[in-house]
């Protein structure tokens, strides 16, 4: 019985590990309105990235411009080219994020397609449910064996 409880507890801890790994992730998002590009940078807990360096490059990797995010995590700049732009956020302590701003023929950003696939949280939740069902099955099987003795 103690071994089963320990096994279930260890499985629970293993399911929680991937969530802790994303604790310091940073994200950058950008869109255009007219001839201005608006970018927003934030951490995994939705706090804005303050003072992060945003580098804007073209498809060939040539740097077009760079700047720092403000207290709201925003960095806005005039549209440097009508081609796809590659934005890289360099936050403190080595945290990095990239975003590709795809442009259409008119020089406006195309809306990002929403993914129909399962996200990381759904996958971890599914694994947690499976582990929980397995733990419950083992628990009830061990109780049944103890009653038969």
Q: Is 145 helix (H, G, I), strand (E, B) or coil?
A: helix
**By C-alpha distance, which of 36, 30, 31, 32 is closest to 54?**
30
Average pLDDT over residues 101-119: 68
Q: Is 19 helix (H, G, I), strand (E, B) or coil?
A: helix
pLDDT in tens, 59-78: 899 999 999 999 999 999 99
pLDDT over threshold 80, residue 24: no
pLDDT of residue 68: 96
pLDDT of residue 17: 62
pLDDT in tens, 131-144: 999 888 888 888 77
In this structure, how many other beta carbons lie within 10 angstroms of the beta carbon of residue 21?
9
pTM to 2 decimal places: 0.60
Least confident of 66-70, 78-82, 120-124: 120-124
Which domains are present in the chain?
2-148 (2.60.40.10)
């Amino acid at each position: 019985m103690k071994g089963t409880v320990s096994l279930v507890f260890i499985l629970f801890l293993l399911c929680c590990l991937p969530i802790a790994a994303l604790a310091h992730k940073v994200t950058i998002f950008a869109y255009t309105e007219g001839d201005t590009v608006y970018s927003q940078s934030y951490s995994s807990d939705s706090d804005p990235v303050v003072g992060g360096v945003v580098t804007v490059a073209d498809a060939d990797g040539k740097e077009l411009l760079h700047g720092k995010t403000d207290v709201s995590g925003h960095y806005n700049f005039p549209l440097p080219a009508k081609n796809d732009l590659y934005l890289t956020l360099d936050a403190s302590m080595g945290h990095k994020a990239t975003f590709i701003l795809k442009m259409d023929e008119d020089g406006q950003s195309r809306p990002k397609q929403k993914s129909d696939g399962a996200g990381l949280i759904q996958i971890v939740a599914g694994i947690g449910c499976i582990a929980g069902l397995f733990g419950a099955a083992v628990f009830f099987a061990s109780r049944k064996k103890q009653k038969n003795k």
